[in-house]
Structure 1
Amino acid sequence: MTGRPSLTQRRRDATRLDIARTAAALFAERGAEATTAEEIANAAGISLRTFYRYFSLKEDAVAPLLAAGGQRWVELFAESSADLPVREALERSAVASLTPADESAAEAMHWTRSLLRDPRLASTWQRVHADSEERLRGVLADRCPAGADALELRLAAAAATAAIRVALEEWALSDAPVTGPGSPQELGARCMRELTGGLRLWSRVT
């Protein structure tokens, strides 16, 4: 057993992401309130029934797209060198995940900006970050020595996730580019340093 998702699961994940991209494009153009689930399904080439097999609410259709960056961030942190202090490893991983690798990734960042400006999607955004915080707490627990303080782990995961959330929200309210001054990666690094500076966990090398 390799732990790799089955072919069926990979197809389901691909379909979910395709629906998410379709919904994001429509929401960016019209807004979530003016877009129906049926319109998303038609644009994605699926039936309305199939849409509701994947998402119970039209607003949740963009959750996979909003969650992708956070998932990549936690994965990069999990793969980072154990020689790095936790704080440095997590900051580097965050910056890398917030830096678009190509034009497609840059377009997704612009979609994210539009989505974060839409008040109808606020609850979806909060759920995405709650899930990201939970995943990060598990990875931190695996990386830190046995017996690490559970409260400290929880605070660290909450602070780091809040740093990325605030950075993206501030960027979304601005007209700053996806790279360079005022970009998500610059704001993310700044917020990470500000919010995690007082936590002992971040100075440890594991």
Structure 2
Amino acid sequence: MSSRPPSLTERRKAATQLDIARAAAELFTERGPDGTTAEEIAERAGVALRTFYRYFRNKQDAVGPLLAAGGDRWRALLAATEPGAAVPESLERAMREALAAPDEHAAEGLRQTRELLRAAAADPALRAVWYRVHQESEEKLIPVLTRLAGLDAKELETRLAAAAATDAIRVALEVWAATDADLTGPGSPAELAGRCLRKLMGGMRSLTA
């Protein structure tokens, strides 16, 4: 069963949050989190400070929607897969497609993620947002995998697959961000994520066995 499409109000809220997230990412890249205030983020995004605090608790929290965007995209790709398909292969295919930077918008998102991860190395609050985003992504992935595996899906295997896939992307992006590797080819996010997933999932070929 498909989920209810977002209402106009929900879409506007998401768009505002993403505008604020992009403004925060730009300022963090330019000045670092310590050199940026919530007031400056709100001004860059073109919103009132009260609007900023309506959506976010603090300045680091503001980049959450931007960091979550990639996960939203690859879960949507996976959700479009027909039930019964081999889960490890489906995971890797969706993951690689989502991280392949097929257009400038996707490429810019990856570049912003790299800068944020570099800033997070010296900012525990920003690292906490990164980890929270991935925990939430893992939880959202479980029902997608359950549907993909079918009625006989086993909870333990499904949860393990969700954890492995989420950690594969997280570790791949962290390793990539610490290097000067390109967006494509060896050492790219897509290539690293595929390698991480295969190592983490090992011999797991089914969620129903």
**Would you say same fold, with TM above 0.5?**
yes
2:189 matches 1:170: no
Q: Is the Cα–Cα contact under 8 Å of residues 164 and 200 in structure 2 kept in the other structure?
A: yes
Q: How big is the shift at 1:150?
A: 1.3
Q: How big is the shift at 1:197?
A: 1.6
Q: Is the Cα–Cα contact under 8 Å of residues 85 and 203 in structure 1 kept in the other structure?
A: no
In structure 2, runs of 5+ residues without a counterpart are none
Q: Is the Cα–Cα contact under 8 Å of residues 78 and 94 in structure 2 kept in the other structure?
A: yes
Tell me how far apart the structure 2 counterparts of residues 201 and 33 of structure 1 sit (CA, whole Å): 46
Change (3 A) 1:164 1:2: closer
Aligned to 2:25: 24
Q: How big is the shift at 1:198?
A: 2.9
Q: How big is the shift at 1:101?
A: 2.2
Change (3 A) 1:101 1:130: same
Q: Normalized against structure 2, the TM-score is what? A: 0.92
Q: How big is the shift at 1:142?
A: 1.8
Tell me how far apart the structure 1 counterparts of residues 203 and 128 of structure 2 sit (CA, whole Å): 29
Tell me how far apart the structure 1 counterparts of residues 72 and 41 of structure 2 sit (CA, whole Å): 24
Tell me how far apart the structure 2 counterparts of residues 202 and 35 of structure 1 sit (CA, whole Å): 46
Aligned to 1:110: 111
Q: How big is the shift at 1:43?
A: 0.7
- From 146, 149, 157, the counterpart of 1:141: 146
Identity %: 57
Matched residue type, 1:136: L
Aligned to 2:193: 188
Aligned to 1:46: 47
Tell me how far apart the structure 2 counterparts of residues 202 and 165 of structure 1 sit (CA, whole Å): 22
For 1:44-74, what per-residue CA distance to the aligned partner results, in whole angstroms no more than 9, with x for missing partners?
A: 1111111000111110111101000011111
Tell me how far apart the structure 2 counterparts of residues 13 and 129 of structure 1 sit (CA, whole Å): 18
Structure 1 runs of 4+ with >6 Å offset: none
For 1:148-169, what per-residue CA distance to the aligned partner results, in whole angstroms no more than 9, with x for missing partners?
A: 2211111111111111110000
Q: How big is the shift at 1:201?
A: 2.5
- Backbone CA RMSD of aligned residues: 1.8
Q: Normalized against structure 1, the TM-score is what? A: 0.93
Alignment of 1:109-128 (within 5 A): 109-119=110-120, 120=123, 121-128=126-133
Alignment of 1:28-107 (within 5 A): 28-82=29-83, 84-107=85-108
2:6 matches 1:5: yes
Aligned residues, how many?
204
